[in-house]
Amino acid sequence: MSLKRISVIGAGVAGCAAAISAAARGADVLLYEQRPLRSTPVHTTGIPAELCGGGDFGAEETDRAGGLLNAELRELVPSLSSCIDAARMGEHTLLVAREAFSQAVRDLVEASPRIELREEHVAALPDGPVVIASGPATWSPLARAIHAASGAPFVFSYCGRPPLIAADSVDLSEALFVPPYPGAEPTIFLPLSDDEVAGLARLIASGARDHPAGLEPQMVLADEQVPVERLAADADELASTILRGPRGPQVQTEGPALCLVPDDPEQSAFHLQGLCTSLTTAAQQSALAAVAALSEVRVLRPGLIHRTPWLAGREATLSSLELERLSRVLLAGTLTGAWGYLEAMATGAVAGVGAASLADGRSPLPPPPDSMTGALCYAIARREPQGDSRMLRANFGMLPERPQDEGMSKTERRRGQIERALNAMREYAGR
């Protein structure tokens, strides 16, 4: 075994980021992935870095938290950022074609002479530096091994996704194509009559459910999503929230509508935006068929609500993402309690840098707190086990403010934060 070898458990978004960033820093990487040998409730393919929700990576502008995280990723692991670029579906959006993104990451992993992708379900922690990036579908016995190594309790949150439907099963003859702003790619809406909203609400409210155990009343999804069945008891509320149609000067008539988000540039499939649900696949199919344009609908991948485990930070990890009790082990992805593809890649990249340092006989360096990536890792390490169980997303509130900035306008302060974040990340990446 190479002295500089590290192991990464899980070739999801975070694990691939960890493997690629560690390999770029001279480590040999054994990247373990159980799929396709053993599937999970949230994945449908055997491809590394499968996006188990939609393909939205958020905004590109650095004055948005996700945009800044993305710009920092470009400094830290440029080759990974190019996978996002290769798969994006328009100039004005970071909406990516999911399959093209995963294939680009897989190609990158397979092309690296330093990464060995091994199809194996890992049940115990390997020797040497390890990044655990087993994601929302981390089950026993790996979960037991993580608990034994960290001594920290697991916290559970709920993550949802809407159904993905075949485009050739949708009648688009009445659809509205509305650009969110001039020059942008149009968003597609299927207008709904009041009867259709009422029928949809009734079927959602009464449909059979496939719940994760014991979650119903307190169920709050990551990223402020709401399970659609929670709203379906009141058709008006459903219409004014999730089914809120297009608005603005370019829209002739406002009213409820289903928003269709393309899954690929050919628009062969659509995500039904906002319809996160734990209805069974059959119940989803029949509820959707209550809409005339969806009477022939084919659900390609059902909507889902998934109970996602993560480790409470303060008792588990340092800001370098090492386990406090076992520093050769680092966490990445949803296991850290952070939600989102960019958050998974950022934590994966940091853990990969740390594991490469360990393999080189050095201690991992925490990412700079002035960067969005660093601020996220510090927030992860500070979380109380008994606190709020919502998962973390990168946000500007995490970044430190300087006393000398007092009195500046919000725009000036933010501009300064962005500049410091990017400079700090450049320096960290350069080291």
Ligand X SMILES: Cc1cc2nc3c(=O)[nH]c(=O)nc-3n(C[C@H](O)[C@H](O)[C@H](O)COP(=O)(O)OP(=O)(O)OC[C@H]3O[C@@H](n4cnc5c(N)ncnc54)[C@H](O)[C@@H]3O)c2cc1C
Contact 294/165 with Cβ under 8 angstroms?
Answer: yes
Q: Which residue number has the CB closest to ligand X?
A: 12
Please enumerate in sequence order all residues whose Cβ is within 8 A of that of 85, keeping only pairs 6 or more positions apart, or say none: none
Cα separation, 207 vs 204, in Å, equals: 5
Does residue 32 belong to the site contacting ligand X (CB under 6 A)? yes
Q: Which of 71, 142, 164, 318 binds ligand X (CB under 6 A)?
A: 142
Beta strands per DSSP E along 91-145: 115-119, 130-132
Report the alpha-carbon distance of residue 65 to residue 61 in Å, rounded: 9
Closest approach, Cβ 37 to ligand X, in A, equals: 9
317-356 residues near ligand X, rule: CB under 6 A: 333-334, 339-341, 344
The site for ligand X, by CB under 6 A, has a size of 39
User: Helices in 183-273 by DSSP H: which ranges?
Assistant: 194-206, 228-231, 235-240
| Nearer CB in complex with ligand X: 169/334 | 334
Residue 362 burial by Cβ neighbours in a 10 Å radius (0-12, 13-18, 19+): exposed
Minimum Å gap between C-beta 262 and ligand X is 14
Only one of the segments 8-16, 79-87, 322-330, 355-363 lies at the binding site for ligand X (rule: CB under 6 A); that segment is 8-16
CA distance 269 to 376: 33
**What is the closest distance, in whole angstroms, from the C-beta atom of residue 53 to ligand X in the complex?**
2
Q: How far apart are CA 119 and CA 360, in angstroms?
A: 26
CA separation for the pair 187, 64 (Å, rounded): 21
Q: Is there binding between residue 14 and ligand X (CB under 6 A)?
A: yes
> Residue 308 half-sphere exposure, CB side, CA atoms within 13 Å?
30
Question: Residue 256 corresponds to which amino acid?
Answer: P
Q: Which stretch binds ligand X (CB under 6 A): 39-47, 197-205, 288-296, 413-421?
A: 39-47
| Piece of the chain touching ligand X by CB under 6 A; list 33-41, 311-319, 356-364, 373-381 | 33-41
Partnered with residue 209 across adjacent β-strands are: 279
Considering only residues 56 through 85, tell me which ones interact with ligand X, judged by CB under 6 A.
Answer: 56
Q: Does 202 bind ligand X (CB under 6 A)?
A: no
Q: Are 135 and 310 contacting, i.e. CB atoms less than 8 angstroms apart?
A: no
Alpha carbon distance 302, 292 (integer Å)? 20
For ligand X, the closer of residues 201 and 351 by Cβ is: 351
Among 4, 106, 306, 383, binds ligand X (CB under 6 A): 306
- How far CA 183 is from CA of 57, 91, 180, 186, in Å, comes to 20, 10, 9, 9
Give the one residue of 4, 23, 54, 117 binding ligand X; rule: CB under 6 A.
Answer: 54
Instruction: Considering the complex, state which of residue 85 and residue 360 has its C-beta at the smaller distance from ligand X.
Output: 85
Would you count residue 309 as binding ligand X (CB under 6 A)? no
Identify the residue among 21, 40, 157, 317 touching ligand X (CB under 6 A).
40
Nearer to ligand X, 67 or 135 (CB): 135
- What binding mask, one character per residue, do residues 100-139 give for ligand X by CB under 6 A, x or -? ---------------------xx----------xxxxxx-
Contact 132, 335 (CB under 8 A): yes
Stretch that binds ligand X, among 49-57, 238-246, 285-293, 358-366 (CB under 6 A): 49-57
9 binds ligand X (CB under 6 A): yes
**Planar angle of CA 350, 87, 430, nearest 5 degrees:** 30
Residue with tokens 């949803």: 334
34 binds ligand X (CB under 6 A): yes
Which residues of the chain form contacts with ligand X (CB under 6 A)? 9-15, 32-35, 40, 42-43, 52-54, 56, 121-122, 133-138, 142, 159-161, 304, 306, 308, 333-334, 339-341, 344
